[in-house]
Amino acid sequence: MSEQAGSDEARAVVLARIRAIAVDPAGAVPRDYLTSLGPGVDVVERFAERVADYRALVHRASMSTLAATVAAALAGRGAWSLVVPSGVPAEWLAGLDSSIVRLTDDPALTHAQLDAVDAVITGCAVAIAETGTIVLDAGPGQGRRVLSLLPDRHVCIVRTDQVVGEIAEALAHLDPRRPLTWISGPSATSDIELDRVEGVHGPRNLDVVILA
């Protein structure tokens, strides 16, 4: 077979596969993704380890200690103003100092107001153990995407029942039509010299409170 003939045959094979996928996208491509970390893996512990690897602060709390944990996390960051999205449970904030200014997003805060505020507190939609990633979907207790991007500090409450093993497992819990924000540690980037710069695309400081 000539080189040209081989090239034509390979091209025909590729085009045939593309046509088959276009006709039946679900059935043409095997999607045997890993959907769990397997037996014996503590996904909550794995998640905590991965989050800490990103230089985020990890806190553990129960419902009885959550308010004090949130208050301590904010005090530790020197936060004196806080954005509270709609749907954040009142008990999360029960331990806050009365001097902390609380802002709601109704009416919607401007970008300048959000940039000036010290911190935001949110829940999440799901958390991924293997990558240490938190996903927000603008649901209750999370608010608009911009709320978690402009303030310098983000305190995120993650319930243990929201932690899954792998990305594919997380996708089953998410609606792709919603505005999804994927957070893996505090915002950070580096230049060609590998000088790390934090706070470029989001908060410089991330506190994750794992609620059992």
Chain centre to alpha carbon of residue 99:
29
**What confidence score (pLDDT) does residue 21 get?**
67
The 10 Å CB-count burial string (b at 16+, else e) for 121-145 is bbbbbbbbbbbbbbbbbbeebbbbe
How many angstroms separate the Cα of 151 from the Cα of each of 106, 109, 118, 174?
17, 12, 6, 25
Residue with tokens 């904030």: 93
Kindly give the confidence (pLDDT) of every residue in the chain, 212 residues in length, as a single tens digit, with 9 standing for 90 and above.
Answer: 566 666 788 888 888 887 776 665 555 556 666 666 777 889 999 999 999 999 999 999 999 999 999 999 999 999 999 999 999 999 999 999 999 999 999 999 999 999 999 999 999 999 999 999 999 999 999 999 999 999 999 999 999 999 999 999 999 999 999 999 999 988 777 667 666 666 566 789 999 999 99
Task: Check residue 130 and report its DSSP letter.
Answer: T
**What confidence score (pLDDT) does residue 89 get?**
97
Going from the N-terminus, what domains does the chain have, and what CATH number goes with each? 1-32 (no CATH), 33-211 (3.40.50.10420)
- Give pTM, 2 decimals: 0.80
Beta-strand runs (E) in 3-105: 57-61, 81-83, 101-103
**What confidence score (pLDDT) does residue 40 get?**
82
